[in-house]
Chain A
């Protein structure tokens, strides 16, 4: 236990003198079957303060937020809002009371227009009681322009990029008269420029006297925008205090519950750097074209090599991976594995050839949430684990057991539903699913997004190991540090075309930024780090 780091009671130094907490919990406990998600947590958010909430996966951040916003009800303890004990039955009730939440995954209606989404449930009416579309569109446009987003507000929300969608969600939260705004990983899908805009908005909210609860795994961001920090670990509160009084290393060690020296020695990412690479490319993609998306993208990955795919949001990174993996049929181009042509536009064909894709949208395209860890791991390999269509349960058990151990998947057992696991463990389940297929090439699209520091390090280490075993790896990451430290080579994309390739000593953050910025029409690059 690391209670030595405990900075004391929940209110110690966290609130401005004399200020009343707008939202607080006392001794909140929440249990799930087989797990204690929150264990007597005291938490308080103050007006005009940005409060960071951090912790590893499974530390209880998401659960705490859900208790605060009425998604879950606490089994024990008290939630107090503006000095009164409350028990919100639904998130809507909490929202009406003035607690707005922006989730990691955008929570809006994809088929409705941007403006409709912004005004959902409080549409401006004309004198006939009908929706006043003109006014709604005008106000929506203004609201978004304030946040630095220019889009056609009559477009369906789903036609926007995920970053723009997030800004719409934020605009909605800001518009509703909120006293507390909770942000769960708001920057995980934003471009650097958008992150800057977001921070501007957060500061604006703070200046208006709104309490902001900010959940993120990106340490830089915390130090940039937050005033106070609360660290959770294993459902317990381990630290609360001003963030300025806590240096990064100490923060990390609080989260991980490990000694400082250990962390320092291991660095902040788990990549070892160079890999032994050589021989003929295991994967070659030539002249991939997809209308509006990719324009003549070519790649080559040698066995044991980690090739990074750099670029801004919307530069075609994910699309390249999908086109290679058969999930996005290209109009032109070819894919070869170990010199043999692979039928494009067919996922089964790509998988048979040895290409595995870990998709960006883990929850919608990766895991099958209702099935167990076991079924999820065995899913792709099932035909190989069956005889005459009957599943060989023993072999499945063996494989599942092997990978759960090897990847250190934390679950109550192989029969727990994957939907109940933390993000990092879900990612590991997906990795296990593909490793069970014994692939030649792994395409990893944002493998560490939305997972906590500890799991992140584990996944990074795993990528290293897999490359060392001779796999070709394509790594897509918005985290520059991760990309630079993890890759042997980085291919930089811009607007669906390859604009640069960095190799060897060239692979540095500076060079990468230069490569991206050099061809960028938007010169203002507020890159993190």
Chain B
């Protein structure tokens, strides 16, 4: 009988050893955070939630002659936003400053207004976002704020919402659907305009002469295309002597931005300026320039977004200008929904005002950066 017992124990051990091991692994990794001690970081001692208190958003232009939408056109009922439930569907996980600030701003505004807020995060999976929105509707959301991951593919969900006459506001990215029928308004930045303003900064920094490189965003992304278009159009229009000689993707990531810039300064050592389509790639470019022994100001860098790190880069002299892409949609989104549910007219396309950080205001305004 002995061998039988031994064998049993044997098989038991086979299954339990790894189980224990896995459990141990999870435990140790969980403990890892318990006794962690990270580098002291004074500049990180900010609270993104509070950041919503400053700035907020302003509408860029009066929406006078623009298309508007109201309850009669949309076909819903009046509603007091105070007692309503708002559903918020975020597209990407809050892992970058923009998303963090965006979600924080929505949450802060809801809290301030005392409105019940349901949130969901699609973790960059479009199918999850669709089911998130369906869940929010099922859980009884009266109005929806959506930060869409994609522009297309919203048909079925929008139909469900339309049947229930649920007003939808999309923020930061537009949905390809009929405004005032499938959704109420879109609130967001004009990415083409951001590109134009970046071009203005670049022209100013270079005096309108020389060669510039573009660090493109992720390929196939509308933000990339629009920021590129605005920049190139404005350069062609205002500074024909400024030539775009290099366009490579940095995929909106710092590491890629650094790698591409390293290649760039090897092959084109005399480059005058670098236009990075987001701050992260711009900071990667700064790393690359530092590594190659360049000095602050040797190569003019203009970026878009307005994160704290980039604005600090202006203060340090490495970056010439940052065009802001404002993530604080909370106040404006709730304001729009409030007005709409009261029966007032609201714009279909609400373009928010993006500020700029330059050498003149960077130091004083850095507190506003997210």
Q: Using a CB–CB distance below 8 Å, which chain A residues touch chain B?
A: 329-334, 343-345
Contact = CB atoms under 8 A, between A and B. Distances in A.
A332 B4 contact: yes
Which are the 8 A-B pairs with shortest beta-carbon distances? A332-B3, A332-B4, A344-B3, A329-B7, A331-B4, A333-B3, A334-B3, A345-B7
B10 interface: yes
A84 B3 CA distance: 66
A141 B7 CA distance: 40
Interface residues of B, number: 7
User: Main SS of the interface on chain B?
Assistant: helix
A345 B10 contact: yes
A331 B7 CA distance: 7
Contacts of B7: 329-331, 344-345
A296 B75 CA distance: 84
Contacts of A345: 7, 10
A417 B6 CA distance: 40
Interface in B1-15: 1-4, 6-7, 10
Nearest to A344: B3
Nearest to A334: B3
| Centre residue among B1, B3, B6 by max chain A CB count within 10 A | B3
A323 to B, nearest CB: 11
A349 to B, nearest CB: 12
B355 to A, nearest CB: 64
Contacts of A343: 6
Given A330-B7, A344-B6, 17 more contacts: A329-B7, A329-B10, A330-B3, A331-B3, A331-B4, A331-B7, A332-B1, A332-B3, A332-B4, A333-B3, A334-B2, A334-B3, A343-B6, A344-B3, A344-B7, A345-B7, A345-B10
B145 to A, nearest CB: 50
Contacts of B2: 334
A345 B13 CA distance: 14
A331 B5 CA distance: 9
Contacts of B10: 329, 345
Interface in B294-336: none
A344 B7 CA distance: 9
Contacts of A330: 3, 7
Contacts of A333: 3
18 contacts: A329-B7, A329-B10, A330-B7, A331-B3, A331-B4, A331-B7, A332-B1, A332-B3, A332-B4, A333-B3, A334-B2, A334-B3, A343-B6, A344-B3, A344-B6, A344-B7, A345-B7, A345-B10
Contacts of A332: 1, 3-4
A129 to B, nearest CB: 32
A334 B3 CA distance: 7
A290 to B, nearest CB: 11
Interface string B228-255: 0000000000000000000000000000
Contacts of B4: 331-332
Contacts of B6: 343-344
A334 B4 CA distance: 10
A214 to B, nearest CB: 46
B7 to A, nearest CB: 6
A10 B147 CA distance: 83
A329 B4 CA distance: 10
Interface string B254-268: 000000000000000
Nearest to A343: B6
A329 B3 CA distance: 10
A286 to B, nearest CB: 10
A329 B9 CA distance: 13
A331 B4 CA distance: 5
Contacts of B1: 332
Nearest to B2: A334
